[in-house]
Amino acid sequence: MTWYTFFKWIHVTAAVIWVGGAAMIQAYALRVLATRDGRRQAEFAKDTEIVGMRVFVPATVVLFLASIGLMINGHWSWGQNWIVFALIVLALSFAVGAGFLGPEAGRIGHLIETEGHDSPAAGARIRRINMISRCELVVLLAVIWNMVVKPTGQPGWFWGALVVTFVAVGAIAANFARAAGSVPAPATD
């Protein structure tokens, strides 16, 4: 075994934990959201927050550190499209997680405490946070494609994959907007 293969194993393992976990959360989210059970959705949101902080954040840090080991031992150039794309996604994912998903989970928890499990506002926020997580999963899958294929010298594949990724994220967002528009507004006094 070389240092390169060691860091590659660590990198791939962390990616499997992060992306596989995100995929499973989305599978459960579809099931939980379909129930329209406020208590179950609230518990799911709390569990997801804990998994994010205790599993995804450490896996992301380990993945990043292993990628530095790969870059050094594999003699890769930091300026290649597939590497730049991965670094941008990592930075954006961290920013979305730390800047929105984490604080939003706290706001959802506060809403549930003050308004109850069946709060329409909490339900809407849970659906929104799941939509953003779903978009992030699509982008993470694009990074996996990018890491496996490494489209060096083939800019058409790289840019084509980016277009497909953005179209998929746009479709998820449009579906969310359409579904949010069909949810009746809560009655007011």
Give the pLDDT of residue 108: 85
What is the number of helices (H) and of strands (E) in the chain? Answer: 7, 0
Give the pLDDT of residue 182: 65
Q: How many CA atoms lie within 13 A of 46 on its CB side?
A: 12
Q: Which amino acid is at 145?
A: W
Give the pLDDT of residue 70: 93
Phi and psi torsions of 5, nearest 5°: -70, -35
Give the pLDDT of residue 184: 52
Per run of 10 residues, the mean pLDDT along the chain (length 189 residues) is 95 94 90 85 82 86 94 88 86 81 80 85 87 89 87 78 87 85 55
Distances (CA, A) of 146 to 25, 81, 111: 23, 9, 39
Give the pLDDT of residue 123: 84
Q: How many CA atoms lie within 13 A of 179 on its CB side?
A: 13
Distances (CA, A) of 176 to 39, 59, 91: 22, 28, 24
The pair of three-digit structure tokens given for residue 90, joined into one six-digit string: 């990592």
Question: How far, in Å, CA of 185 to CA of 121, rounded?
Answer: 10
Q: Is this structure's pTM higher than 0.85? A: no
Residues 140 and 22: beta-carbon distance below 8 Å = yes
Contacts of 107 (CB under 8 A, 6+ apart): 125
DSSP category for residue 184: P
